[in-house]
Amino acid sequence: MIEIKVNTVKGYKVLISKGLICEAGNYVNLISPARKIMVISDEKVAKLYGTKLLSSLEKAGLDACIYPIKVGEKSKNIGTYVQIVRDMAAREYTRKDALIALGGGVVGDITGFVASTYMRGIDFIQIPTTLLSAIDAAIGGKNGIDLPEGKNYVGTFYQPKLVLCDTDTFRDLPNEEKINGIGEGIKYAVLAGGEILEILEKGLDESNEDRFLELCIKYKASVVENDERERGNRMILNLGHTMGHAIEKLSKYTVPHGLAVVKGLYMLITAPGAVALAKHERERIINLIKKYKFDVTVPYKCGDLLSAARNDKKAEPGNKINIVTVKGIGNCELVNLSQDELCRFFGHDPNRKIN
């Protein structure tokens, strides 16, 4: 088993191993006084692992139930949030009880938000069941729900008590969901370089998956520990996300998050304004994207993308937008540009489609 300590203000451990869902009840008893547990999951994941998790919790003497939500980003809204907290109130959950997020990023985000606000805060545990959520949403304590105006407009910073990465769940992922996680992994490869990049270039498989998870999680943890509430350098983790979130929004969330991040990253490294990035490093990143057969087309006008990005949380006063640029592998920089400056950076007329 791999154990990682995340040293935030309220620190916690991330465990990586097979079979952790079957042991979840014992781990909950070690880190929380809760006797009642609500498991929030989506309908698909609940069918796969819900019974197994409930059995583990009940064997550990816990009173557990499961609350399934619909699959997909569209469930991460204020209506779903209100339904969950009202159900908890009806079941008489108290501050001493706890939640478990069993699923991907959508489930993790809304569960964390419920935990941080129900009775002003109760314990919660993350059990990510996708590669993407294991290296991204489950780590760092960012929780939230979406508004029509954009992703995660309403949210909190609230850390889990524990993260259990049961790698058995990754065996059941369809190939497109594995690739979705690799998309987020490519972000880490560009940010950190080194062994993360080398693993992805070699090819991610079961032989190096645990090590890949460990490296990505440790990298994110190291950034979060120094800027837990994202007031500065934590924004570097948004590489590819400024345009990525805009692409997701314009597609009405039909483009998966990991793919959108890769599209956003590809726009950055191929932009005329990316003059600091050496040709051989640009080619290395492009070859990595090609290796996993990512579709990098962006069928939206530059102006529409920038308008969507301006309504995202990455916007700043003065009609400026935060964006992470790539000066080199392992050398990325957060910059703050106006819409006109971004159009010049990308070399596009606002009314012309990207590609």
**Three-class HEC string of 167-192:** HHHHHHCCHHHHHHHHHHHHHHHHHH
Confidence check: pLDDT of 330 > 90: yes
Are 271 and 345 in contact by the 8 Å Cβ rule? The answer is: yes
Give the three-state DSSP class for 83: helix
Least confident of 23-27, 217-221, 300-304, 322-326: 300-304
The predicted structure's pLDDT at residue 309: 86
User: What are the catalytic residues?
Assistant: 120, 142, 184, 220, 230, 234, 238, 241, 245, 257
Residue with tokens 């409930």: 54
Give CA separation, 4 vs 22, 100, 164, 212, 221, in Å.
20, 19, 11, 13, 9
- Sign of the dihedral through C-alpha 338, 342, 347, 348: negative
pLDDT at position 318 over 70:
no
Mean pLDDT calculated for residue range 182-198: 98
Highest mean pLDDT (candidates 188-202, 312-326, 339-353): 188-202
Residues with Cβ within 8 Å of 235's Cβ and at least 6 positions away in sequence, in order, are: 314, 322, 324, 334
| pLDDT value, residue 340 | 84
Mean pLDDT for 72-87 is 96
* CA–CA gap between residue 247 and residue 286 (Å, rounded): 19
**DSSP 3-state assignment of 152?**
strand
Decide whether 2-173 matches 176-346 in CATH topology: no
For 233-263, how does the pLDDT look when each residue is reduced to its tens digit (9 = 90+)?
Answer: 999 999 999 999 999 999 999 999 999 999 9
This prediction has a pTM of 0.94
Average pLDDT over residues 121-129: 98
* Contact between residue 129 and residue 104 where contact means Cβ atoms under 8 Å apart: yes
Indicate the CATH number of 2-173 among 3.40.50.1970, 3.40.50.720, 1.10.10.10, 3.40.50.10470.
3.40.50.1970
In a 3-state reduction of DSSP, which class is residue 62?
coil
Asked if residues 160 and 10 have their Cβ atoms less than 8 Å apart, the reply is: no
Closest CA to 43 of 104, 87, 109: 104
Please classify residue 71 by burial: count the beta carbons closer than 10 Å to its beta carbon, then call 0-12 exposed, 13-18 middle and 19+ buried. Answer: middle
Predicted pLDDT of residue 315: 60
Angle at 106 between CA 175 and CA 31, to 5 degrees: 105
CA 243, 246, 250, 255 torsion: positive or negative?
Answer: positive
Task: Determine if residue 167 is left, alpha or beta; phi over 0 gives left, psi from -120 to 50 gives alpha, anything else beta.
Answer: alpha
In DSSP terms, 324 is beta-bridged to 334
Kindly give, in sequence order, each residue whose CB lies less than 8 Å from that of residue 266, ignoring residues fewer than 6 positions away: 286, 289, 294, 296
CATH architecture of 176-346: Up-down Bundle (1.20)
pLDDT tens digits, 173-189: 999 999 999 999 999 99
Fill in the amino acid letter for 7: N
- Strand pairing of 36-42 and 63-69? parallel
The pLDDT value recorded for residue 307 is: 85
The structural domains of the chain, with segments of one domain joined by +, span 2-173, 176-346
